Amino acid sequence: MASDTAYDRLIPDLRLDGRVAAVTGAGRGIGRETARILAAAGAHTLVTDIDEQAAEETAGRIRDEGGSASAFPLDVTDEHQVAGFTQEAERDAGVIHILVNNAGIVTMAPFLDLPEEEFDSVLAVSLRGAYLMTRALLPAMRKSGWGRIISLSSMLGKTPARYTAHYSAAKAGIIGFTQAVAKEAAPEVTVNCLCPTNVETGIMEKDFEFFGEREGISPDDLRRRWVDAIPLGRLGQPLDAARAVLLLAGEAGAFTTGQALNVSGGEEVH
């Protein structure tokens, strides 16, 4: 019989002890669950959000659960704030090994009614934010010889829907950004993104109302329609995306880069 050590080599290591992870938009939803799961795996987690109180709440919850976390107020669209965060975080915690670009804005609007400032703000948070954070943290990752960058795109970045021109453009941009940077960041750093289906957060209730009103059905009927479209028979949960981040963030993701991984219950398959 093989030794325990030999068996252990067959099992991907999901532990992140000694690593430092930064998660943007971590005050709620997918960002909060991602910060929690990375901390549970042993990483010191830097919880950032434009809402300082929400960031503090997430970091406090992680510490209550036995993890290690610090909170930072951060507007990812502001390059001066990003630079300030990077300097402070690296001074206090050392190299940031894992970056999760989660911050984003979700709005829906018919294209011809879409205000220019709404288009700009959605792209700024999702796409410009990922660019600024990646540009700030990638050099130290490469110098250290190890890094993981994981950004949140969306199923709509691959298969857009009506009323989502600005959101779909931002999320498709994340995919292209990821694939291009992955080729330059290798071999020291892997760069990937996730494409979740509809995930049950507070934002989704507004989506049910918006689309239900335009399609002439109740939010409950629309919810059932969306669930029926998912082969696994349920909507996504924040923890589903967080678990996928964990898979890519450790040694299990060592040979995966430039990918747009569907976390869609089978609804998106390309």
Q: What is the mean pLDDT of residues 126-132?
A: 98
Q: Which residues contact 87 (CB under 8 A, 6 or more apart)?
A: none
Is 1 a residue whose pLDDT tops 60? no
Known catalytic membership, residue 163: no
Is 190 a residue whose pLDDT tops 70? yes
Residue 203 has a pLDDT of 78
Considering the entire predicted model, what is its pTM? 0.95
Question: Residue 184, class by beta-carbon neighbours within 10 Å (0-12 exposed, 13-18 middle, 19+ buried)?
Answer: exposed
Q: What's the pLDDT band for 55 if we cut at 50, 70, 90?
A: very high
Provide the edge-to-edge strand list for the sheet that holds 260-263: 68-73, 44-49, 20-23, 98-101, 147-152, 189-196, 260-263
Q: What is the mean pLDDT of residues 92-99?
A: 97
- The whole-angstrom separation of Cα 142 and Cα 190 is 10
Q: Which domains does the chain have, with CATH numbers?
A: 4-199+237-263 (3.40.50.720), 200-235 (no CATH)
Q: Which of 7, 131, 163, 167 is catalytic?
A: 167
Cβ(183)–Cβ(139) under 8 Å? Answer: no
Higher pLDDT, residue 210 or 65: 65
Report which of 233, 149, 148, 159 is spatially closest to residue 196, judged by C-alpha positions.
159
In three-state form (DSSP H/G/I as H, E/B as E, the rest C), the secondary structure along 98-141 is EEEECCCCCCCCCHHHCCHHHHHHHHHHHHHHHHHHHHHHHHHH
Percent of the chain with pLDDT over 90: 87
Average pLDDT, the chain: 95
Higher pLDDT, residue 29 or 203: 29
pLDDT in tens, 171-186: 999 999 999 999 999 9
Cβ(136)–Cβ(154) under 8 Å? Answer: no
Q: What is the mean pLDDT of residues 218-235?
A: 94
